Structure 1
Amino acid sequence: MNPLQRAEQAVLGAVLLDPDQLAHLDWLAPDHFYRPVHQALFAALRKLRSDGHPATGAEGPVPLSWVNDAVAEAGLHVRGLTAVYAHSLISACPRSEHAPVYGRMVLEGAIHRTVAQHAIRLHQAARADAVQGEVEGALRTADVLTGVLTDLARRWGTDPRPVARTAGPAAAVTTVSPPVQSDQATEDERFLLAVLTEQPRAMDEVVDWLRPGDFADPAHGQVYRCLGALRHRGEPIDRITLLWEVQRRGLLADGTLSGEQLIAIGDGMLPGSAEWFGHQVMRSSLTRTAAASARAVRALAEDEALGPGRLINHALHALGPLDEVRSRWQAAKGRPVPKPTASAPSEGGPPPARVQAARARSTPRPAPSPPALTGPVPAPATARPPSRGHP
């Protein structure tokens, strides 16, 4: 059986056995449960407690009405729930006092599902923007994902900070290659390189915010790098100097570039604005990066071996390339970079003590102090004077 399903059954069974356990589960919400029947039952138990059910706070055995009323209330929202299933939940709970630990397991599963769902939405928004030639949808969805990660970190009780995943057998899944470029993106890149080659001052319009990695075709990125090197050294830029720089870097010998590609760039010359074509390249780069980041975050969320804290921090790190491209996109458009804001916590947010209970992490004990020395304390040795032969 799925461990997450066992945890959901255990926490519900614990509350059915001991209604007072709800006081230790205020940080757990019904939508943190995966199965709809479990969501409805936990919501019903919380409603009965808020309505002042006689079973809450009472001493002695729990009355049977607590179970029956919970099943009746949950049955108003889902079908197929019976008292027999409620009693099977009770039998699935080893110890009712372990309810906070079971709840932490449920919350952990909810964090993985939530991150995966928002990563899928980011990927869909990036693909839609790539088709429509836009970027705003992907940027808004990325802001939502960043806010969700920050809010989940607060609920879990950790500090959100980007951390690279450098160890572990699944570390390679976070490195996702971008998809194959479209014909339109390739054409825009070729036109841009042609304008940069033929117009003397064109590089000044794009060099501050356009990078070789923004080109979908790696060969085009290498040509742009050669143009940037010529500009940096103050050398003239034209077809001949570009060909010489390409040959000097060995790009023709190792097969990175071919003579046909360089000829295609030269033949594609047309009157145009380097800034406009640069914006087209940047727009394509942003949607590709958003899609790649979304796939990396989803791969992390589907790794059940990752704890919530590491998942959140690795996901924030996976969004780093998108943030970098976004900042340059805003610079290219002459707009300040908006800072993504986290979603506001609910007014009845969990207190720190219960967040700690949800995490169920032991507090390290302070190391014992060394025993006091008895008797006279020896005086420290005096420094030895330097010998005469060594000044």
Structure 2
Amino acid sequence: MPNPAQPYEEADPDELPPAQPVHYAEQALLGALLLHPHRLETIGTLLPEHFGNHSHGALFSAIRTLPLPDLEVHAKEAGWLNAVLDAARPEAPGLTAPYLHTLINACPRPHHAATYARMIQSDHARRTLRMHAQRLAQTATDPTLPNPAATVLAEADTLTRFLEEAAGQFTPHPGSLPRTSLPPTPAPDTGEEVLDEERLLLATATAHPDDIATMRWLQADDFVLPLHGALFQCLTALTHRGDSLDPITVLWEAQHRGLLAKDVDPVDLMALVSTPVGSSEYWGERILQRALLTTAHSAALRIVAFTDDPANTPHQLITGSRRALADLTAIRARWHRATPKPPTAAPRAPRTPALSRAGPRPRVTTPTTTARATR
């Protein structure tokens, strides 16, 4: 059997992976067009790049480029077929005349050409969606980016635009949710630098309670350590009630929330919220940005899983991908509230760099708290 990747070469069938259904759809469509070139007008906006097989795309490009032959002449002579082969060979040098006849024989119903074209478009949409999702996942985990949040959100915008375009090409149908088993949520980064930033936010916010009222864009779920998220809830609760805020009152609130029952030492907990450094806003933005990147990575992995499942139709892929991006959309709104852009009509002075706002970051040593909380 011809190699699906290189249909013009002979190979041992036992050494080849099984061809995917779209391979036969591409063969059938090309066979229909080689046999009845005028059916090109019935297949819509199919493009050469929609083909998964490069040689098939080259043949389709040649078919689209050359003038259509006279039907009566084409039925008796192979001149147009030879012209198609000559036009396609610069892009696919290994194509042969016998393979063109293989394509013609592979088409069971030439009048189904439009249906074959839709199958090819559907598979192209799946591959393209997977490419966008993989790019989003890679961007969300790239530590070298100078502005990771903006870059990740730009990739998410590109993916969303593709979904909007694809939604207009494929008709919705009942049962549109994918039934794919979702991959496990990636484990968060709990390195010391990450934990230090969360500790510094808690300590700085405890020392400057007024900052908490302006940081409603930060939530407990944004913290990688559950204990830190619970302590942030303690701070926000005390502030909301108008109670005094200091390490002692935080400890008291933590006791009422059952945090001390988890073998957290009171002395260590008070030490954790007693070493303020720099700006609460800075540490909060760092925590929120990390949560945004984590959410983007998780959404991208879900979309990749959807595209890897051949049972999903294009509309299921679109619906599932939109749902996967919903959490990213929510945290994105909070990120924009945390880092608003200056008005275009009245631009303000550039913000002080985040690092200078934070000031020097000393090492916060709370080994007992960290060790016990991570158990």
Whether the 8 Å contact between 1:17 and 1:62 is mirrored in structure 2 is no
Alpha-carbon displacement from aligned partner over 1:117-155 (angstroms, at most 9, x marks no partner) = 011111122122576463111111111111111112222
* Residues 77 and 131 of structure 1, relative CA distance in 2, 3 Å threshold: closer
Which of structure 1's runs of 4+ aligned residues deviate more than 6 A? Answer: none
Normalized against structure 1, the TM-score is what? 0.76
Percent of residue pairs identical: 36
Amino acid at match of 1:9: Q
Matched, 1:20 2:38: yes
Q: Where does residue 269 of structure 2 map in the other structure?
A: 262
Alpha-carbon displacement from aligned partner over 1:42-85 (angstroms, at most 9, x marks no partner) = 1111111xxx2324x55872631222211111101112100111
Q: Where does residue 68 of structure 2 map in the other structure?
A: 53
Q: Where in structure 1 are there 5+ consecutive unaligned residues? A: 338-391
1:184-263 mapped onto 2 (5 Å cutoff): 184-206=193-215, 208-254=216-262, 262-263=269-270
* Residues 79 and 238 of structure 1, relative CA distance in 2, 3 Å threshold: same
Whether the 8 Å contact between 1:32 and 1:107 is mirrored in structure 2 is yes
C-alpha distance in 1 between matches for 2:145 and 2:192: 12
Q: Secondary structure at the match of 1:236?
A: coil
Q: Where in structure 2 are there 5+ consecutive unaligned residues? A: 1-18, 344-375
* Residues 121 and 18 of structure 1, relative CA distance in 2, 3 Å threshold: same
Q: Where does residue 300 of structure 2 map in the other structure?
A: 294
C-alpha distance in 2 between matches for 1:324 and 1:26: 37
Whether the 8 Å contact between 2:204 and 2:273 is mirrored in structure 1 is no
* Residues 308 and 62 of structure 1, relative CA distance in 2, 3 Å threshold: farther
Whether the 8 Å contact between 1:129 and 1:138 is mirrored in structure 2 is no
Q: Secondary structure at the match of 1:128?
A: coil
Q: Secondary structure at the match of 2:210?
A: coil
Q: Where does residue 172 of structure 1 map in the other structure?
A: 182
Per the TM alignment, residue 157 of structure 1 is displaced from its structure 2 partner at its CA by 4.4
Amino acid at match of 2:225: D
1:35-54 mapped onto 2 (5 Å cutoff): 35-48=53-66, 52-54=67-69
Q: Where does residue 332 of structure 2 map in the other structure?
A: 326
Matched, 1:29 2:47: yes
Q: Secondary structure at the match of 1:93?
A: coil
C-alpha distance in 2 between matches for 1:105 and 1:260: 65
Q: Where does residue 7 of structure 1 map in the other structure?
A: 25
Q: Where does residue 313 of structure 1 map in the other structure?
A: 319
Q: Secondary structure at the match of 2:123?
A: helix
Q: Which has the larger radius of gyration?
A: 1
Per the TM alignment, residue 115 of structure 1 is displaced from its structure 2 partner at its CA by 0.4
Amino acid at match of 1:274: S
Amino acid at match of 1:201: D
Q: Where does residue 96 of structure 1 map in the other structure?
A: 110
Amino acid at match of 1:172: L
* Residues 62 and 155 of structure 1, relative CA distance in 2, 3 Å threshold: farther
Whether the 8 Å contact between 2:133 and 2:301 is mirrored in structure 1 is yes
Whether the 8 Å contact between 2:209 and 2:239 is mirrored in structure 1 is no
> Bigger CA drift: 112-121 or 130-139?
130-139
Q: Secondary structure at the match of 2:330?
A: helix
Q: Where does residue 64 of structure 1 map in the other structure?
A: 78
Q: Where does residue 371 of structure 1 map in the other structure?
A: none
Q: Secondary structure at the match of 1:97?
A: helix
Report which structure shows greater RCO (CA 8 Å, sep ≥6). 1
Please give the root-mean-square deviation of Cα atoms over the aligned residues, in Å: 2.6
* Residues 186 and 58 of structure 1, relative CA distance in 2, 3 Å threshold: farther
Whether the 8 Å contact between 2:134 and 2:304 is mirrored in structure 1 is yes
Amino acid at match of 1:46: R
Q: Where does residue 283 of structure 1 map in the other structure?
A: 289
Normalized against structure 2, the TM-score is what? 0.79
Amino acid at match of 1:302: D
**Residue-pair matches, total:** 324
* Residues 83 and 276 of structure 1, relative CA distance in 2, 3 Å threshold: same
Amino acid at match of 1:285: A
